[in-house]
Amino acid sequence: MKTDKLIWIPRVLAIIFIVFISLFALDAFSGDASFIKKLAGFLRHLIPTLILVLTLLISWKKPLLGGSIFILLSIAFAFFFKTNRSLLTFLAVTFPVALVGILFIAFDLAAKKKGEI
């Protein structure tokens, strides 16, 4: 299999993770607050999604740079969301972002080594 087809693995994983993390934003619509406050909370909860989408767009054209950003984001997520306190939370929130970054970098380097890019 050519490495240019392997680059779809981190892309698809990133899209799946972005959809997964976006589902948590729907929690903002529960409670007794006004619709405007719920909408504001929903948009605030989508900030990580926006950052991940922008990083995916960068990774689509520049996998090495995007992969590095994904790895940095995984470190930021670990500290910001305090995922280091629970293994399950770490595996659900931080690990997939790091894995996507590592895969983008690995497949980009493999493609360059074979001269496909």
DSSP 33: S
Query: What's the total number of domains in the chain?
Result: 1
User: Of the candidates 57, 48, 59, 58, which has an alpha carbon nearest to the alpha carbon of residue 93?
Assistant: 48
User: Of the candidates 97, 71, 75, 72, which has an alpha carbon nearest to the alpha carbon of residue 84?
Assistant: 75
- Across the chain, which has 117 residues, the per-10-residue mean pLDDT values are 78 97 91 91 95 98 97 95 92 96 95 76
Whether this prediction's pTM lies above 0.95 is answered by no
Give the position of tokens 């001269």. 115
**Residue 73 structural domain:** 3-114
The pLDDT assigned to 111 comes to: 87
Tell me how far apart the alpha carbons of residues 53 and 106 are, in angstroms, rounded to a whole number.
20
Give the position of tokens 């790091």. 98
Contact (Cβ atoms closer than 8 angstroms) between residue 59 and residue 11 = yes
Tell me how far apart the alpha carbons of residues 8 and 60 are, in angstroms, rounded to a whole number.
9
Tell me how far apart the alpha carbons of residues 24 and 27 are, in angstroms, rounded to a whole number.
6
The pLDDT assigned to 116 comes to: 61
